[in-house]
Amino acid sequence: MLKKLNDIWRESIADIVNNNMKKLLLLLFISSAFISSANANSIKGGFGYELGQSLPDLEISCNFIACGFILEYFKPVNQMPPFDAGNLETTIVEKRIHRISLYYDEDSTKNNSCFSQESWSYDKYDFTKIQSMLFAKYGAFERTSNRSKTNDWITYIFRDGARSVSLSCSWTYEKKSLFKPYTGEMRLVLEYKDGFLKRLADKEGSAYRKKIKLQEGTDYDF
What is the DSSP code string of the chain? -HHHHHHHHHHHHHHHHHHHHHHHHHHHHHHHHHHHHHHHTS--EETTEETT-B-TT---EE-SS-EEE-EEEEPPTTPPTT--EEEEEE-SSS-BEEEEEEEEEE---SS-HHHHHHHS-TTTSHHHHHHHHHHHHH---EEEEEE-SSEEEEEEEEEETTEEEEEEEEEEEE---SSS--EEEEEEEEEEEEHHHHHHHHHHHHHHHHHHHHHHHTTS--
Residue 72: pLDDT above 80?
yes
Cα–Cα distance, 206 to 186 (Å, whole number): 34
Cα–Cα distance, 56 to 207 (Å, whole number): 19
Residue 71: pLDDT above 90?
yes
pLDDT-derived band at 189 (thresholds 50, 70, 90) equals very high
Angle CA 53–190–184, to nearest 5: 135
Query: Mean pLDDT lowest for which of 44-58, 142-156, 185-199?
Result: 142-156
Half-sphere exposure of 208 (CA within 13 A, CB side): 18
User: 91: burial class by Cβ within 10 Å (0-12, 13-18, 19+)?
Assistant: buried
- Please indicate whether residue 35 or residue 90 has the higher confidence score (pLDDT): 90
**Chain-centre distance of CA 55, in angstroms?**
18
What's the pLDDT at 64? Answer: 84
What's at 68, amino acid-wise?
G
What's the pLDDT at 70? Answer: 97
CB-CB neighbours of 188 under 10 Å: 22
**pTM of the model as a whole:** 0.76
What integer is the mean pLDDT of 19-42?
46
pLDDT-derived band at 25 (thresholds 50, 70, 90) equals very low
Residue 1: pLDDT above 70?
no
**Chain-centre distance of CA 213, in angstroms?**
31
Cα–Cα distance, 212 to 219 (Å, whole number): 12
Angle CA 147–152–153, to nearest 5: 110
Q: What is the mean pLDDT of the chain?
A: 82
What's the pLDDT at 44? Answer: 95
Cis? peptide before 76, omega within 30° of 0: no
105-150 pLDDT per residue, tens? 988 888 888 887 776 655 678 888 899 999 999 999 999 999 888 8
Residue 144 · residue 155 · CB < 8 Å: yes
